[in-house]
Structure 1
Amino acid sequence: MKHMLCSTMKNYKKEYLPKDIFSGIIMAAVSIPISMGYAQIAGLPAVYGLYGSVFPILFFALFSTSRQFIFGVDAAPAAIVGAALVSLGIESGSEAAMQYVPVIAFLTGIWLLLFYFLKAGRIVDFISTPVMGGFISGIALTIILMQIPKILGGKAGSGELPELLRHIAETCKEISWLSVVLGVGALLLLRMAGKVIPKFPAAIVIMAAGVAATMCFRVDEHGVVLLDAVEKGLPKLVHFHFAGIDLRQALGRSLMIAAVIMSETLLSENNFAMKNGYKIDENQEILACAMGNIAAACVGCCPVNGSISRTSMNEQYEGKTQAVSVVAAITMAAVLLCATGFIGYLPVPILTAIVISALMNVVELHLAVRLFKVSRNEFYIFVAACVSVLFLGTIYGVVIGLLLSFVAVVLRATNPPRSFRGMIPGKEAYYDLKRNRNAYPIRHTIIYRFSENLFFANVKIFQSDIEKSIKEDTEVVIVDAAAINSIDVTAADRLEMMAENFDKKGIRFYITEHSENVNEQMRSLGIGHLIEEGKVRRTILAALQDAGVATPGTSMESEKSPVIQMPWQLEIPAAVHAVHEAMIPAEEENTLEEFAWAFGDDAVEEMEKKVHQVMEQIHRLPDLERLADVGFEEKLKNWHSLGALDEDEILRRMEMHLDELPENLRGDKKVILQLIEKRRRKIEQQLLMHHPEILDNLKKNRERLERRLEKQNPEAARKLHEWERQMREK
C-alpha cells in the first residue's frame, strides 16, 4: 500500500513550502471555532472538536490524492449524530453520548472501507455539474443558516430550513446587539478584504482583534458569548463500549453518515479539482475518509468529513499540497499542548463571521446565473438540488440529485437534437434546413440526422419525424446516423418495419455515415439483411448515387474530399427570396449563413471582426499587383470556403473598410478593389455554370445588403459610393 501514501507530496517543490505552512496555520486557527462548535452539535464537549483536528486530519492527508481538500469535524455528520442522540433520548455531553458517538464514528469508517472495496466512488460519474453545484450550494447555505444565530448571541441551529428559520426567529427575541455589531462588522471587513487584498490573512487579524476586545473591554460582560476554555493536553485513546447500544440502529445511522461523507466529500473534491486543473482518485478518497473516521473514533470524536469552507480558504491562500493538512494538525497539537488559554477569550460572533465568509465563497451563484442564461432545464435542476438539501437534508439531497441527473439524461436521450438536411449552392456539405435559410432540400429526397443513440425510448420520435416529412413526390429517405453509436432490439425491429413500409411505397430507404460497430449490432439483432439489400451505405453521397439522385458524370468521393462539385437538383422555389424580402426587414436580414449558424445573434459583430482580420492580412501581403492572376483569397490565412451569397457579402464589407488601410497601402486601394471585383465575377461564373437559378437571388441579395450597410455605416457607404462613381467617370 506504500504507493498510495502521500501522493500529493511526491516531487514536492520547495517553493510550495511557505504557502503550505502559512495556509496550514490559518486552517488550524479557523478550525478552532468551527470544530468546537460542530462537536457540541454532535453532543460532545467542545474540546473533542480540537481532538478531531489532529490525528483524523493526518490520516486523511496520508491517503488523499486531493491537493487542496481539508478534512475535519464538519456540519453534516455532526448534525446527523446530534439528531440521532435526540431521537434516542441521550443527553448532549453525557457519558452515554460520549460512549455512543465514537461507536458511530467507528462504524462509519467500516462502512467507508466497504465502499472502498466495492469501488463505490464511481457514483460521482453520474452526477452532473448543475446537480453538483446545487448540492454544494445547498450545504453551504444550510451551514450559514446554522451559524447566523451565533452572530445574534444565541446557539447554532440544527435541522433543515424550516427548523433553522424557526430557530433564527426565536433567537431574535433575545438578541445581543453587541454580538450583532461584532459579527456583522467582522463579516463586512472580511468581505472587503477579500476583494481589496485577497491574500492578506484578514481572518487571523480579526481573531486577534476579538481576543484583544475581550481582554480590554470585557465584551463577555455585555452579552457576547465566548468560546469555552479547554484543558491542555493531546487526546487519549478511547475504548469502545458496545454494551447497551442498539447495533442495528447504529449500523443504519452510520450507513447514512458514511453515504453523506462519501457523496459530499467526492462532490466537493471533484469541484475543486476541476477548478484548479488536477485529477483525484475517487476510490482512494473513500479510503482516506475511512481512515480519518477510524482515527476520529479512536480519540472519542464524532464522524469527520471534508470541509468545503476550510478548503475554500485553503484555495484562497494558495495551499498546494496535503502538507497544509499536516501543518494544520501539528499546529492544532501545539495549541492543545501549550496555548489553549487564549481560546476562552475568542468571541463567538467574530469567529462565526469567519466561517460564514468562507461559506459565501462556496455558494455557486455564478453557476446559477450562467445556467439561467444558457439552459433553463439545467438551472431548474440546480435549484432543485439546492432546495432538496435545504428542506430535506444532505442524504436526501444526494438521492434527489442522482435522480435528477438520471432524469436529465433520459430527457436528453428521448428528445435529442435532430434535423432535416439540404445543401447550400456553392457548398459541398449538408446543412440544417431550419438554421440555414439558403440551404435547400435535394429534389425528391429527405436527409434526416438523428443525434443520439437509437433505443426504445426515442425510436418512436425517430419514426414519427421521418414519416411526417414524407411527401407525395418523395423517392428517397436517407438517415444520417453519424451520431448513432448503438441500437437496441426495439429500435432494430422498428428500422426493419420502416424499411418494409418504404419498400411497399416505392421509396428508397438508407442508413448512412455510422460506425462499423453499428453494422455489427444490426447483424446480431437480426436485421443484417438491410446491409445485404443495400439499405446501409457508408456515406450520404453513396446513398444518393445508389438511388440515382446524382446525374451521370457526377464526381465520386475521395479520401480528402468526400463531396466534389455535385450538380444536385435542389428544390429552390422561384419566389422564395421575394417572400423573404417581404417578410424580413432588410436591416434585420442576415445572409451570412456560416456566421449566423456559428454565432447566432452576434453574427454581424463576428463578421465585422472577420473582415478586420482579413484587412490586417492584406496590409502584410507583398506586391499586390502580382496577385492579379491568383486572387488575394489564395494568399490569406483562414479564408473559409463560404457559399456564394456568404462570400459576396464578405467582399462587399471589405470594400467598406478600405479606408482603414495604412498610409503605405493607400495607393493600392484601386488594386484591392479590382481584386475584390475579380473575385465577385468568379463567384458569378461559378453560379452560372452550376446553379444558374441562384444568380438572380445573388443580385437581389446585393440590393438588400446595400440598403442594410447604408443604415449600419452611412459614412463608409457614402465614401465607397463616391469612390466607385469617380472610378466609373475615369
Structure 2
Amino acid sequence: MLLSRWLPGLANLLQYRREWFRYDLQAGLSVAAVQIPIAIAYAQIVGLPPQYGLYACVLPMMVYALVGSSRQLMVGPDAATCAMVAGAIAPLALGDPERLAQLAVIVTVLVGLMLIGAGIARAGFIASFFSRPILIGYLNGIGLSLLAGQLGKVLGYKIEGEGFILSLLNMLQRLGETHLPTLAIGVGALALLIWLPRRFARLPAALVTVAIATLCVGVLGLDSRGVSVLGPIPSGMPQLSWPQTNLAELKSLLRDALGIATVSFCSAMLTARSFAARNGYTINANHEFLALGVSNIAAGVSSGFAISGADSRTAVNSMVGGKSQLVGIIAALVIALILLFFTAPMAWIPQAALGAVLLMAGWGLIDIQAMRVIRKLSRFEFWLCVLTTLGVIGVGVLPGIIVAVLLAILRLLKSIYQPTDAVLGWVRGIEGQVDISQYPQARTLAGLVVYRFDDAILFFNADYFKARLLEAVEREPEPRAVLFVAEAVTSIDVSGIVALREVRDTLLARGIVLAIARPHGTFLRMLVRSGLARELEQRLLFASVRAGIRAYRVWRNQLQREALKEPGRAGAAQQPSHD
C-alpha cells in the first residue's frame, strides 16, 4: 500500500506481465526515436549544446517511470518550458556558454523543489487557475515565438533582436542574406515533416527527416558550401554536479522558477489526464507534483534543464501500444546508449533540419480551431485567449500569463460581486418557478415579491444584494411581503447578515414582511448564530417556496376578512404563519 502510494510506477512494474514486454519494447524504441532529434533541437531554444537536451531525457525518464502515476506520460524537454528557461537564464549568463549551463541546472533544481513543495502542500488545485482559454493562448504565444526565433536557421542567418516583433522585423530586413543551400535543406525537411506523418503514420517523422538531411549534408558536402551543422558532440554521460551561485542570482531565478514550475505542471497534467481518461484510470494531481518535481531535480543534477510532460512523445507511446512505465525506462536506456557510443554521426546534423523540427513544433502549439470554438462560446474568454497570446509574445511568457490569470480572477470576482438574480413567477406547463424577465407571460401573486439571489452574500456584494432586492420591491405596485429564496446562497458573512437585517428593517418600516425560503448550510447556521432566525420567530423561515406561498395566501385571506369586519384597520404589521 505504501509503495503504490509513493512509487506507483515501481508498484506497477513489480506486477509486470510478460506479454506486455513486446509492446513496451516497441513503444520505447519509438519514443526514443522521436525524443532524440526533438531534445537536440530544444536544447538550442535554451541556448545549450545538443548533448544537454539528451542529458535532460535519460535520468528524468527513469525517475518518472518509478515515481509517476501515469502509465503513458513521457517526460522530457518541452518547447514552452525551454522558452521560459531561456528567458530566465540568458540575461544572467551574459553570453557565457558555461555559465548558461550552470544557470540552467540551478533553475531546474529550483523548479523541482517548488513542485515537490507544492505536492506536499497538496496544491494540485492550482492547475484549475489556468483555464483552457489561457492555456491555449499561452501555447499560441509560445508557438509564434518559436516560429519567429527559428526561421533564421532555415534561412541561413542568425536573427538578431529579442522577442517576437523584433525577431520578425530583423528577419524581414535581412531576407536578402538568405543562404540558398540552407534554405533548400530547411524547406525539404519541412516538406518531409508534413508528408511523412500523413503517408507513414507509424514512422518517427522527426528522426527520419533529420537522418535524411544529415545524409544529404554528408554525401553532397554541403557543410563546405556554408550549411551550418551541429559539429562534434562529446560522448559519455554527464557528471553529477552542483554549480556555484549567489543570493542575487537565486532571487532573480526564483520568480522565473515559479512560473516555469506552474506551466510545466499544468502542461504535464493536461497530457497525463487526457491519456489516463482514454485508458480508464485517474491521475492524482498532488502526487504528480511530487513526481514531476523529483524528475526535474534529476534533470538538474544530470546537467539537463527543466522538463515537463511531452505530449508528442506521449502520443507516440499511446499510438504504438505501450502498456506500462517500462516504456520510459527503455527509451532512456536507448538515449544513454546513443550518448555513449553513437554521438559521432550527430556532428553532421544540419541546423536547418533542427530548425524545421522546431518550426513544426511551434506550429503544432498553435490551435486556431480551439480559438474558433472559444469565440463561439464566450467572447470574453476568446479575448482573454488573444490577450494571453499577445502578452506572451509582447512582454514575455510569465508576465503575459500573470496578466491573463489576473483578468480571469477579476472577471470571477465581478461575477460574484454582481451575481444573477431574479424575481420569480409561474408559467403553466413549466415545473417550478421561472424568471419573469425571461417569461413576460409569467403569473405572480399580487402583493408578493418572490426574489432569488444566486450566490453567497459576502462583504463585497452585500450592498449589491440589498439594492437589488429593494429594487425588485419597488417594481411591485402594492407590495405586502417578500419571500427571499435562499437555496443558491451557499454562505453569508457578518457583512451579509448586517445587510439582510437592514433589508428586513427597511421593509418593516414600510409595512412589508420579509420571509426566507429554503435556507440551508452555512447560511442557515449564520442566521441562527446571529439571532436573525430567532428574530424572525421561525414563522418566516420556510422549507420550500411552496410552503412560503401557501402561508402568504392564508395571511392575505385573513387580512381581507379582518378588513371587511373592521374597515381601516392596518394589517401589515401582522405576519404570516406556517400553514
Into which bin does the TM-score normalised by the smaller protein fall?
0.7 to 0.9
Whichever of the two has the greater Rg, that structure is: 1
**2:268/2:310 contact within 8 Å kept:** no
- Work out whether 1:7 is the aligned partner of 2:39: no
Structure 1 contact 27–328 (Cα < 8 Å) conserved:
yes
Relative distance call for 1:256 and 1:513 in structure 2 (3 A) is: same
Number of the residue aligned with 2:352 = 349
Is the counterpart of residue 374 in structure 1 residue 377 in structure 2? yes
Q: Indicate how the Cα distance of structure 1 residues 283 and 335 shifts in structure 2: closer, same or farther if over 3 A, else same.
A: same
User: Which deviates further from its counterpart, 495-504 or 401-410?
Assistant: 401-410
Which of the numbers 514, 519, 530 marks the counterpart of 1:525? 530
Instruction: From the superposition, tell whether residues 38 and 426 of structure 1 become closer, same or farther in structure 2 (CA, over 3 Å).
Output: closer
Distance 1:547 1:195, change over 3 A: farther
Cα offset for 1:455? 1.7
Matches within 5 A, 1:24-39: 24-39=28-43
In the other structure, the counterpart of 1:384 is 387
- The question of whether the paired residues in 2 share the 8 Å contact of 1:9 and 1:322 is answered with no
Shift of 1:47: 1.9
TM-score, with length taken from structure 1: 0.67
1:197, distance to aligned residue in structure 2 (A): 5.7
Contact kept? 1:54, 1:329, Cα under 8 Å: yes
Partner of 1:128: 131
Alignment gaps of 5+ in structure 2: 558-579
Matches within 5 A, 1:304-319: 304-308=307-311, 310-311=313-314, 314=317
Q: Which residue is 2:177 aligned to?
A: 174
Q: Which residue of 1 aligns with 2:304?
A: 301
- The Cα shift of 1:406 comes to 1.6
1:576-591 correspondence to structure 2 within 5 Å: none
* Partner residue, 1:501: 506
CA contact (8 A) 2:108 2:296 kept: yes
2:62–2:329 contact (8 Å) kept in structure 1:
yes
**Cα distance in structure 1, aligned partners of 2:84 and 2:427:** 63
Matched, 1:512 2:517: yes
1:63 equivalent in alignment to 2:67: yes
Structure-2 residue corresponding to 1:266: 265
Query: How many angstroms apart in 1 are the aligned matches of 2:334 and 2:532?
Result: 70
Residue type at the aligned position of 1:5: L
Q: What are the within-5 Å matches in structure 2 for residues 400-415 of structure 1?
A: 400-415=403-418
Whether the 8 Å contact between 2:81 and 2:264 is mirrored in structure 1 is no
Aligned residue type for 1:58: M
RMSD: 3.3
**Count of aligned pairs between the two proteins:** 547
> How far, CA to CA, are the matches of 1:126 and 1:86 in structure 2?
28
Partner of 1:440: 443
SS in 1 for 2:57: coil
- Listed one character per residue, the Cα deviations across residues 93-136 of structure 1 (whole Å, up to 9, x for unaligned) are 34x55555444444444444444444444322333222233233
Mapped pair 1:422 → 2:421: no
Question: Match of 1:259, as an amino acid?
Answer: L
Q: Aligned partners of 2:214, 2:73: CA distance in 1, in Å?
A: 29
- The Cα of 1:185 is off from its aligned counterpart by 4.2
Q: Specify which of 42, 46, 52 is matched with residue 48 of structure 1.
A: 52
Q: 1:225 to 1:298 in 2, by over 3 A?
A: same
Q: Structure 1 residues 7, 199: CA separation in 2 closer, same or farther (over 3 Å shift)?
A: same
Q: CA deviation at 1:85?
A: 5.6
Counterpart in the other structure of 2:236: 233
Report how far residue 410 of structure 1 moved.
0.6
CA-CA distance at 1:496 after TM superposition: 1.0
Conserved? CA contact 2:112–2:261, under 8 Å: no
Q: Which amino acid aligns with 1:411?
A: K
Distance in 1, matches of 2:183 and 2:315, equals: 25
**1:256–1:395 CA contact under 8 A, matched in 2:** no
- Paired amino acid for 1:258: A
Quote the residue 2:96 is aligned against: 92
Distance in 2 between the 1:200 and 1:241 partners?
40
- Could you tell me whether the CA contact under 8 Å between 2:36 and 2:207 is conserved in 1? no
The 1-side partners of 2:171 and 2:45 are apart by 16
Letter in 2 for 1:373: K
Q: Deviation at 1:33?
A: 3.5
CA apart distance, 1:73: 3.6
Deviation at 1:540, TM superposition (A): 1.0
Q: CA deviation at 1:431?
A: 1.5
| Distance 1:82-1:376 versus aligned 2 partners, 3 A rule | closer
Distance 1:160 1:116, change over 3 A: farther
> How big is each residue's C-alpha offset from its partner over 1:442-472, in whole Å with a ceiling of 9 and x where there is no partner?
3332222222122233333333333223323
Matched residue SS, 1:130:
helix
Shift of 1:9: 7.2
Deviation, structure 1 residue 174: 2.2
- Correspondent of 2:287 among 265, 284, 289: 284
Q: Deviations over 1:129-172 (max 9, x none)?
A: 22233233333333333333222223588853234324534663
SS in 1 for 2:150: helix
Q: TM-score when scaled to structure 2? A: 0.83
Match of 1:362 among 365, 370, 376: 365
Q: What is the deviation of 1:263?
A: 0.8
Query: Counterpart of 2:97 in 1: which secondary structure?
Result: coil
Question: 1:640-659 residue pairs with structure 2 within 5 A?
Answer: none
Q: Is the 8 A contact 2:143 2:366 kept in 1?
A: yes
Contact 1:33 1:352 in 2 (8 A): no
Amino acid at match of 1:271: L
Match of 2:542 among 524, 537, 541: 537
SS at match of 2:442: coil
1:488 aligns with 2:497: no
Which stretch of structure 1 is more off in the superposition, 505-514 or 104-113? 104-113
Query: What residue number does 1:479 align with?
Result: 484
Deviation, 1:222, is: 4.3
Matched position secondary structure for 1:32: helix
Counterparts of 1:501 and 1:85 in 2: how far apart (Å)? Answer: 62
Query: Is the CA contact 1:146–1:158 (under 8 Å) kept in the aligned structure 2?
Result: no
Structure 2 distance, partners of 1:386, 1:500, is 51
SS of structure 2 residue aligned to 1:229: coil
Which amino acid in the other structure matches residue 7 of structure 1? Answer: G
525 and 292 in structure 1: CA distance in 2 versus 1, 3 angstrom threshold: same
Structure-2 separation of matches of 1:475 and 1:192? 75
Q: Aligned equivalents of 1:241 and 1:305: distance in 2?
A: 22
Q: Given that residues 145 and 157 in structure 1 are in contact (C-alpha distance below 8 angstroms), is that contact kept between their aligned partners in structure 2?
A: no
Greater shift, 327-336 or 170-179, is seen at 170-179
**For 2:161 and 2:363, how far apart are their aligned partners in 1?**
19
**Cα offset, 1:346, TM superposition:** 2.7
Q: 2:25 & 2:162 partners in 1: Cα distance? A: 36
Secondary structure at 1:69 match in 2: coil
Contact kept, 8 Å, 2:73 with 2:309, in 1: the verdict is yes
Evaluate the alpha carbon distance shift between residue 424 and residue 97 of structure 1 in structure 2; reply closer, same or farther with a 3 A threshold: closer
Q: What letter corresponds to residue 202 of structure 1 in structure 2?
A: A
Q: Residues 271 and 48 from structure 1, CA distance in 2 versus in 1: closer, same or farther, beyond 3 angstroms?
A: closer
Distance 1:498 1:100, change over 3 A: closer
The code of the aligned residue for 1:190 comes to: L
1:227 positional shift: 2.7
What amino acid sits opposite 2:261 in the alignment?
Answer: M
| SS in structure 1 of the partner of residue 139 of structure 2 | helix
- Counterpart of 1:429, as a letter, is G
Partner of 1:547: 552
SS in 2 for 1:233: coil
Summarize the Cα distance change of 1:498–1:408 in structure 2 as closer, same or farther, 3 Å threshold. same
SS of 1:54's equivalent in the other structure is: helix
- CA pair 363-316 structure 1, distance change in 2 beyond 3 A: farther
- The Cα shift of 1:199 comes to 4.4
CA contact (8 A) 2:23 2:323 kept: yes
**Displacement, 1:248?**
0.8
Q: Match for residue 190 of structure 1?
A: 193
**Distance apart, 1:78 and its partner CA:** 4.8
The alpha-carbon deviation at position 486 of structure 1 amounts to 0.7
Contact map agreement 2:271 2:311 (CA 8 A) in 1: no
Change (3 A) 1:294 1:466: closer
Q: Distance in 2 between matches of 1:379 and 1:13?
A: 47
Residues 188-220 of structure 1 show CA distances to partners (whole Å, capped at 9, x for unaligned) of: 443455456644543343333323322333343
